[in-house]
Chain A
Amino acid sequence: MLDHLTVISLLGLFVIVAPLVLVCVLGVSSLLGRPLVEETTGRVCRATMVTGLLAAAGILAVMLAHNTRHEVIDLGNWVVIPHYHFSVKLVFDRLSVPFVILTFLLCGTVAVFSGRYMHRERGYNRFFVLFSLFVLGMVLTAVAGTIETLFTGWEVVGLSSALLVAFFQERPAPPRNGLRVWIIYRVGDAALLLAAIVMHHLAGEGDFDKLFGAGPWPDVGRASVTQQQALVVGLLLLAAAACKSALVPFSGWLPRAMEGPTPTSAIFYGALSVHLGAYLLLRACPLLEVSPTLAAAVVALGLITALFAYVAGSVQTDIKSALSFASLVQVGLIVAEIGLGFRYVALVHLVGHACLRTLQFIRAPTLLHDYHLLENAIGEHLPRAGGPLHGLGPGRVRRWLYRFALERGYLDALLGTFIVTPFVRLFQWCDGLERRWTNFLAGRASRESDEVKPSSGQMEELP
């Protein structure tokens, strides 16, 4: 007879293996140049999602039945040499199990929806390859028991999200926006990797148990670090969370991410991906108890983000942008709740918000049609109320607020003016210096690349 720990371990492996199989099947067939037909892709997606969901639900059932709140599955060391090891551990507790179930539930729903929505789309296979990577990344991040495992899933989520933003790649805007999303994600990745390394050095290993305490979430005990150390690690984690969850000042990418297909907008920026930062903070909540300064920073950032998103969202004229800012308001509030110590409230808020927002995003493409139906039925336009900024303060303040909201808080403009443009100018100037230096050494024009035209048009000229 299997004991409950063995059952949880087996089910836990299914949770990880299901999305891994999906990635392997879709990825390898694409790499070999033999992508699956739509029907097979749909079946594989459904099968793996259902398997993962049942396994996760089974874990929840077993944990409830045996009244266990915290199970760690140690998969051993992936790499081990003297002075270094990379262990893979999965944690199933009150934080990870709901999040994994939410992931499979929403991803499964969206997979079925996408099968119809993307039908006969040129990039159908590409969409599902990236989608499968996203699911794998989400699941891995959710059940990670070490910061290194979490980082692995975190990066996979980032790449798949950025490439899906650029999905409609024949238009110039999606790739540009995809690159912006990727840049912000890379900043977050760098912060998370640094946090991982610092944690490794503080605790000797990257296990959450060692650094945050081995108790069940959320009462895991007191983190085994000083206030100063908690502040350093916590700020790095907060920076990573801010990038992933589009908190201020990194909020500019969220409306840009709406260039992607609607199903991915729903699942990424309405439901799961945008909550990943909040999830990270929930996992690292013992650090907030050690450092009140860090907790205050988290609350402040959450409230500022919520306020900003409310103001910016008030003037959006397209449904997906309005929904993305509405999401951001809730994410900001969830972050503030985490900072204030309301862990369960934040978790319930997160799960509820993710489900509602997925529904809204998926319904968004047909909303206009529904409006037309309603207006046709009643024979006149539906009443339109003034926006929340209407009648707010004197005219000058209101105009400034409108301008501020329309420019989305000038966040993109500020990042562009003070970081991107100086960066590009500086290194283009360096490039010019190098050109002069090699011309001087060569005694003639040294760069053949200067003759390469932006659009060579050589395709038809070559045999």
Chain B
Amino acid sequence: MSAWDCPWLECAVAVPLLGALCVGRVRDPIRAFRWGVIITGTALAAAVLAWIGFSLQRTTAGRGWLALDELSAPLVVLVALLHFLTALATARTKMRRFSLAWSLTSESIRLATFACKEPWLLIGLLIAGTVTPYVELVNRGKPTRVYVLHMALFATLLILGWAFVDSAGTHQDQTALATIPLLLAVLVRCGTVPAHCWVTDWFEHASFGNSLLFVAPLTGVYAAVRLVLPIAPDWVLEGIGLISLVTAIYAACMACVQRETRRFFAYLFLSHASLVLVGLELVTPVSLTGALSLWISVALSLGGLALTLRALEARFGRLSLANFHGLYDHSPMLAMCFLLTGLASVGFPGTMGYIATELLVDGAVGANPFAGLIIVVAAAINGIAVVRAYLLLFTGARRASTVSLRVGPRERFAVLTLMGLLLIGGVFPQWSVASRHRAAEQILHERQQRLSIPGSVSLPPERVGG
């Protein structure tokens, strides 16, 4: 038995769950925090080993319900990385407020979600993933109704939708109609207009760390790829694409007029999530490759941007975007990180998002020139929103401070890691784009097979690792 035969993926899922049980008993927040970093780091290491094992094709196929494929292998690592860096970059002043036990539980559920293809289990995990944020809102004494209403709608539509799909059997017309509740569920979870208000509300009330971890991996998009994309007829996908285009533009414009940093970030996220969704729904190899590449880029760049904003909040409290704050001289490193991660999210040259956006626009123009135009306009507006926020936060009259407000070594490591990945992925994009292209081909193959064999649920031959 070689090292690659170990169940690394299962380890990556189990370690945070067991860790949550242990950390929950530790009373001292500093000690709990140290344990949390070790646990998330271990989960990350296990996820990376699982990915390497999958890449080397040394794993056996079909082990249990958790398995990696071309799509999910880097996403699982991405989720583990975001959790690790978020835990690592937590400022001491925030350690009491950042619930590690719940965060570790969420990590376990998220890792399992991204490693799961079995529909009903995936639906269960998606619903379970909405519970831990609710607990956080309750623990912090924040209003929960907006969140609960939307997530209840999401869960109901998801269960109904898949029940309809199951019951439709071999009747293709019925399956097509049954995908409508699934489509609506995905739109609610992704925060597409008009069901987007729960995202901004969530950012208003949750801790920034947990907000970031809940949205940045784009779990709703994953649900769309696994549950809707393989079975949905073209008109359903066109519907998702159209609504996503509207959301991409609307959210980008809203990001430009926001007067507070969290809401600015929430809209920026919504716009990018919608752009990814647009690329997926065009179902051409190039647009799919672009969307999947953009997915990774958005998660990394918005993760870095959120960690930067979180570090600013830890020092200055919640920041308004109604005037200039002049924070550059206090933290030039954070200013650079903000600008680089923000621009990386909009596909600035030299970053991972550049080629992803190029691919997405190219694929979109090929499928529908109007979609290509909207994507370009949305990216341009997002770029304006990012630079506007940068100028408002970091320029302006310098404020005096008697204490050092420089970025700490842990925060520096976290944001520099994400920036390094974005820049390396931008300068050497071939490897990641080729990997996303393979994932795109696999998705298209699966879709073609399912749509050509009505009612068939068999998966295409593929590399599957556990």
Contacts and interface: CB of A to CB of B under 8 A. Distances in A.
Interface string A155-175: 110010010001001111011
Interface string B380-405: 11011001100110111111011101
A455 B320 contact: yes
A194 B378 CA distance: 13
Contacts of A78: 355, 429-430
B319 interface: yes
Interface in B239-273: 250, 253-254, 256-260, 262-263
Max chain B C-beta neighbours (<10 A), residue from A162, A183, A441, A456: A441
Interface string A435-448: 00110011110111
A427 interface: yes
B384 A448 contact: no
A65 interface: no
Interface in B383-435: 383-384, 387-388, 391-392, 394-399, 401-403, 405, 412, 416, 419, 429-430, 433-434
Given A169-B394, A197-B361, A458 B316 contact: yes
B416 A186 contact: no
A462 B315 contact: yes
Interface stretch (B211-219, B295-303, B369-377): B369-377
Interface string A345-365: 000000000000000000000
B324 interface: yes
Given A155-B348, A190-B380, A449-B318, A170 B257 contact: no
B380 A82 contact: no
Contact of B372 (A153, A169, A197): A197
Interface in B6-40: none
Given A169-B395, A456-B319, A444 B366 contact: no
A420 B380 CA distance: 15
B167 interface: no
Contacts of A186: 380-381, 383-384
Nearest to B256: A427
Contacts of B395: 166, 169-170, 174-175
Interface string A80-92: 1111101000000
A93 interface: no
Interface in B137-151: 143, 145-146, 149
A152 interface: yes
Contacts of B359: 84
B78 to A, nearest CB: 20
Interface string B274-296: 00000000000110010000000
Contacts of B387: 162, 179, 182
B143 A187 contact: no
A442 B324 contact: no
B201 interface: yes
B333 interface: yes
Contacts of A193: 361, 376
A462 B376 contact: no
B401 A459 contact: yes
A179 B317 CA distance: 25
Contacts of A437: 197
B204 interface: yes
B201 A446 contact: yes
Contact of B197 (A166, A182, A427, A434): A434
A458 B430 contact: no
Contacts of B122: none
Interface bracket on B = 35 or more
Given A166-B391, A456-B317, A463-B93, A443 B145 contact: yes
Interface string A230-247: 000000000000000000
A382 to B, nearest CB: 38
A419 interface: no
B320 A179 contact: no
Contacts, number: 185
Interface string B120-147: 0000000000000000000000010110
A174 B328 CA distance: 15
B322 interface: yes
Given A166-B391, A434-B200, A446-B201, A441 B396 contact: no
A200 B358 CA distance: 11
A443 B143 CA distance: 9
A5 B380 CA distance: 40
A146 B434 CA distance: 22
Interface of B: 93, 143, 145-146, 149, 197, 200-201, 204-205, 250, 253-254, 256-260, 262-263, 285-286, 289, 315-320, 322-326, 328-329, 332-333, 336, 343, 348-350, 354-355, 358-359, 361-363, 365-366, 372-373, 376-377, 379-381, 383-384, 387-388, 391-392, 394-399, 401-403, 405, 412, 416, 419, 429-430, 433-434, 437
Q: State the 3 A-B residue pairs at the shortest beta-carbon distance, nearest first.
A: A169-B395, A449-B260, A175-B395
Interface of A: 30-31, 33, 78-84, 86, 122, 126, 148, 151-153, 155-156, 159, 162, 166, 169-172, 174-176, 178-179, 182-183, 186-187, 189-190, 193-194, 197-198, 200-201, 423-424, 427-428, 430-431, 434, 437-438, 441-444, 446-449, 452-456, 458-460, 462-463
Given A81-B437, A194-B373, A449-B259, 12 more contacts: A80-B430, A81-B433, A148-B358, A166-B391, A172-B397, A186-B383, A197-B362, A197-B365, A200-B362, A434-B200, A446-B146, A458-B317
29 contacts: A31-B336, A79-B430, A81-B285, A81-B289, A151-B349, A152-B349, A152-B354, A166-B395, A172-B324, A174-B395, A175-B395, A178-B391, A186-B380, A189-B383, A190-B379, A193-B376, A197-B376, A424-B257, A437-B197, A441-B146, A442-B145, A449-B260, A453-B320, A455-B323, A455-B325, A456-B319, A459-B316, A459-B401, A459-B405
